[in-house]
């Protein structure tokens, strides 16, 4: 059930003769198995492919969104997606390079499985000849005994090769070491690919390039057990301005769940990307055509101050993940906060989310505006606050503060106030009652 008109109506860009060419142009191919064979498989007819998402958190994030959109692009090209939610692998978690994961309870993982199923479903179509399928790997692991697992699957894995995987070797050389539980993760992921190969004739797995070791465990297992070849397509890691990948392990996750990252914060994230990165992100995260993106690239070069590329990126991705209404609400909130719109006309939840993203404080009606300026960090001292007011640069709810002794007299919706110094420096006030 694709959740927006953009995904629902968009066909692959007609500028490209084949999906591989488009994926290459969009910068979505970092590594693959035999490129010529995979390209041929994608061109010769419809194939089944899968990507796995482990419920090690209550929401998917931007790293997962890269894979979901690659899945959708392949589906638009006529291929059949399988979204695997790891009810089994989520109970373990793939090894992090630095430390052992904290194991979540079975009930927690089961709850997160459903949340991730619902999120992933929004980006795929479950109708037509290329209808998507949702699966849970707990369905084929829960009933398997440890003896069967070791005899039927584990015997095909060689410890030396398992030790050479990047995440495993990093942990072995650290003080944390690695448990047998996490060491075995790659066997479970390999078993998933084998199972889907048998059940669904699935011949391609996609994932991030940092997962290459786990991805190859599946192709190796299929080759050993079935004597057949399967494919892998790994996407590049998407990083922030400091070169860190987006993800919960890095502590900079941008979540797809509106309760964890509000639509306003989500929109602002994209709006604030650097000029050097915005065109790449437009290719990866939107369904804009090559011609449309090239036009935005020209605008960026000629009139960077207009930030047209960032505005279009923020609009497109917020619409994809949330809705047209949520994107419009974020745009309206941005304008209103900076004095270019009606604060009272904003949706309450949107305004509240926006103020939480700003420096903020709680205060009752009647507190001095100077004190609010200091408490929120908009000025360094009371004297600096009085000077800012005297110079005409302080606003409460977009109304200029004229008196250095002015107090907070009213609230938006009875609960909030927006404090602004100059044109761009904002703070939020949450009214104490």
CA distance 105 to 178: 20
φ and ψ of 158, to 5 deg = -105, 130
Please say whether the beta carbons of 256 and 317 come within 8 A: no
Extract the residue ranges of the chain whose pLDDT is less than 50: 4-5, 9-10
> Among 215, 193, 250, which residue's Cα sits nearest to residue 94?
215
Is the distance from CB of 269 to CB of 254 less than 8 angstroms?
Answer: yes
Are 253 and 49 in contact by the 8 Å Cβ rule? The answer is no
Q: Concatenate the DSSP letters of all residues of 355-407 into one string.
A: HHHS-EEEEETT-BHHHHHHHTTSSSSHHHHHHHHHTT-EEETTEE---TT-B
Structural Rg of the chain based on CA atoms: 25
Return the pLDDT at 244: 73
Under 8 Å CB-to-CB from 114, ≥6 apart: which residues? Answer: none
What SS3 class is residue 339?
Answer: coil
CATH superfamily for 358-433 is: RNA-binding S4 domain (3.10.290.10)
Under 8 Å between Cβ of 316 and 288:
yes
The domain 262-356 belongs to what CATH superfamily? Answer: Tyrosyl-Transfer RNA Synthetase (1.10.240.10)
| Helices (H), ranges, 134-258 | 138-141, 146-148, 159-163, 166-172, 180-183, 185-200, 212-226
Q: Helix, strand, coil proportions of the chain in percent (round to 5)?
A: 50, 15, 35
- The DSSP symbol for 46 reads -
So what's the architecture of 5-238 in CATH?
3-Layer(aba) Sandwich (3.40)
So what's the pLDDT on residue 247? 54
Q: Which pLDDT belongs to residue 14? A: 77
Outline which parts of the chain fall under CATH 1.10.240.10.
Answer: 262-356
Q: How far apart are CA 160 and CA 323, in angstroms?
A: 48
Kindly report, as residue ranges, where domains of CATH 3.40.50.620 are found in the chain. 5-238
What was the pLDDT predicted at 352? 93
Residues 201-230: tens digit of each pLDDT:
999 999 999 999 899 999 999 999 999 999
Closest by CA position to 131, among listed 317, 2, 320 = 2
CATH 3.10.290.10 residue ranges of the chain are: 358-433
């Amino acid at each position: 059930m694709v959740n927006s008109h953009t995904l629902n109506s968009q066909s692959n860009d007609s500028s490209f003769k084949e999906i591989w060419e488009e994926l290459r142009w969009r910068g979505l191919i970092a590594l693959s198995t035999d490129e010529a064979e995979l390209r041929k498989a994608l061109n010769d007819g419809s194939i089944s492919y899968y990507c796995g998402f482990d419920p090690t958190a209550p929401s998917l994030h931007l790293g997962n969104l890269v894979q979901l959109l690659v899945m959708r692009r392949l589906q638009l090209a006529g291929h059949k997606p399988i979204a695997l939610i790891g009810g089994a692998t989520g109970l373990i978690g793939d090894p992090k390079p630095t430390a052992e994961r904290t194991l979540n309870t079975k009930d927690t993982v089961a709850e997160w499985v459903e949340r991730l199923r619902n999120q992933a479903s929004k980006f795929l179509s479950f109708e037509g000849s290329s209808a998507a399928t949702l699966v849970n790997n707990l369905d084929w692991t829960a009933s398997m005994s440890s003896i069967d697992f070791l005899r039927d699957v584990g015997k095909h894995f060689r410890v030396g090769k398992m030790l050479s995987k990047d995440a495993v070797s990093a942990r072995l050389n650290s003080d944390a070491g690695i448990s047998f539980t996490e060491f075995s993760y790659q066997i479970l992921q390999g078993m998933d690919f084998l199972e889907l190969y048998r059940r669904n004739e699935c011949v391609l797995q996609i994932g991030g390039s940092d997962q290459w070791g786990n991805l190859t465990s599946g192709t190796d297992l299929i080759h050993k057990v079935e004597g057949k070849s399967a494919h892998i397509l790994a996407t590049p890691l998407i990083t922030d301005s400091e070169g860190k990948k987006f993800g919960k392990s890095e502590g900079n996750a941008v979540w797809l769940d509106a309760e964890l990252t509000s639509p306003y914060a989500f929109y602002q994230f994209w709006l604030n990307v650097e000029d050097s990165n915005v065109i790449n992100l437009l290719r990866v995260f939107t369904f804009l055509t090559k011609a449309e993106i090239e036009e935005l690239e020209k605008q960026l070069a000629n009139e960077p101050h207009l930030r047209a590329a960032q505005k279009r990126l923020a609009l497109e991705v917020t619409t994809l993940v949330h809705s047209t209404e949520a994107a419009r609400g974020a745009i309206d909130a941005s304008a209103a906060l900076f004095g270019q719109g009606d604060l009272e006309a904003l949706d309450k939840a949107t305004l509240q989310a926006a103020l939480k993203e700003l420096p903020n404080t709680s205060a009752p009606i009647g507190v001095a505006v100077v004190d609010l300026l200091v408490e929120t960090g908009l000025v360094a001292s009371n004297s600096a606050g009085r000077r800012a007011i005297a110079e005409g640069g302080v606003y409460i709810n977009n109304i200029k503060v004229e008196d250095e002794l002015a107090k907070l007299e009213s609230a938006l919706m009875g609960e909030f106030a927006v404090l602004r110094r100059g044109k761009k420096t904002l703070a939020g006030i949450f009214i104490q009652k």
